[in-house]
Structure 1
């Protein structure tokens, strides 16, 4: 049996300001730093074989703080843009509430939560899944199948894409899926990579 822990980065400065972030490289907020440190405390007792992260600073910093907190800074770490957040295109940097006033709550919800509708100039969740899932299958799953304990630090939508596959969620179910910042999500998987259990720590 292997263990896979997913963690969405701690609150970023633009999460705090209620802005669409996407690929813009914004830092953690003070609260986000505390969330990452708290996640490290929740993961005390885990021994990770390796870790994966997006190339964005908020995920990298969360991963660094978690690994520092559990005294495992020496493990192999691979960073790849395949794990980056959805690219929100023309919405990046815009305030979500103001965008809802301009385009309507329903349209903004469709852009944020639907599976295959792209925001203007950006990626849908389907587009995000088409880079996250091949990366998971080629770079991460082989270690899962070896029985290793893996940590992935990434983003709300890149992790939604992965959770959708791990839990075999439908397009309708993923619409309501929200992954909180800084909350470690533990999966236990069998020797074929099938999920046996999952829970937030």
Structure 2
């Protein structure tokens, strides 16, 4: 079975470099335009599995118009706790935030985030989502499905199951970017066949 794993289109929060997380932001006009542009470049799918958040529903509808969808709650984005909705400028004086970014080097270390969900909690949650998706797609005989989720959720999923192995941030993808992967239903390993740059 093939999965087309796609991060949702651009939101206003993305444009403002905010920790959007579980906030239910719609696509910005730029995000809608991007999804309309990317849609025709993607393979067709038999079904879509998506996060419950509005930005994923809107993206899925624009990428694969008229395709039926199933919501999988476990595919939602990481919960950033009190950092949600805020950006670096608004958080720079917060002691928790300072402690977090002070030890992070080139990237924010989500495994060491002092609030919200830990990276391991996200990995565990999205793993359950992948199990549900796999069982449902197999039961329906789908050969290729679309999966519309979030940057953090996809990084968590691929850091565990993606092949060839990459480090966590090696799986970061832009808005409307992602991967075409082959899913092994027994091991849940996701072998990359193609990468989409959004």
Measured against the shorter chain, the TM-score band is 0.7 to 0.9
CA separation in 1, counterparts of 2:132 and 2:10? 29
Counterpart secondary structure, 2:111: coil
Superposition map of 1:174-189 within 5 A: 174-189=168-183
CA separation in 2, counterparts of 1:144 and 1:179? 27
In structure 2, runs of 5+ residues without a counterpart are: none
1:194–1:91 CA distance, 2 compared to 1 (3 A) = closer
Q: Quote how far apart the aligned CAs of 1:135 are.
A: 1.8
So what's the TM-score if we normalise by structure 2? 0.82
CA separation in 2, counterparts of 1:108 and 1:60? 36
> What do you get for the CA RMSD once the two structures are aligned?
2.8
Q: How many residues align?
A: 190
Superposition map of 1:102-121 within 5 A: 102=94, 103-104=97-98, 106-107=101-102, 109=104, 113-114=108-109, 116-120=111-115
Q: State yes or no: 1:96 paired with 2:96.
A: no
Superposition map of 1:59-78 within 5 A: 59-68=56-65, 73=66, 75-78=67-70
Counterpart secondary structure, 1:137: helix
Q: Quote how far apart the aligned CAs of 1:63 are.
A: 0.3
Q: Quote how far apart the aligned CAs of 1:137 are.
A: 1.3
Counterpart secondary structure, 1:186: strand
Q: Quote how far apart the aligned CAs of 1:83 are.
A: 0.7
User: What is aligned with 1:159?
Assistant: 154
1:96–1:48 CA distance, 2 compared to 1 (3 A) = same
In structure 1, runs of 5+ residues without a counterpart are: none
Which of 56, 62, 71 is the equivalent residue of 1:79? 71
Q: State yes or no: 1:47 paired with 2:44.
A: yes
1:115–1:200 CA distance, 2 compared to 1 (3 A) = same
CA separation in 2, counterparts of 1:22 and 1:127? 14
1:118–1:51 CA distance, 2 compared to 1 (3 A) = same
User: What is aligned with 2:22?
Assistant: 23
- The 10-residue stretch of structure 1 (83-92 or 126-135) with the greater mean CA deviation from structure 2: 126-135
CA separation in 2, counterparts of 1:164 and 1:114? 14
CA separation in 1, counterparts of 2:70 and 2:2? 18
Contact 1:113 1:176 in 2 (8 A): no
Counterpart secondary structure, 1:51: strand
Q: Quote how far apart the aligned CAs of 1:194 are.
A: 4.3
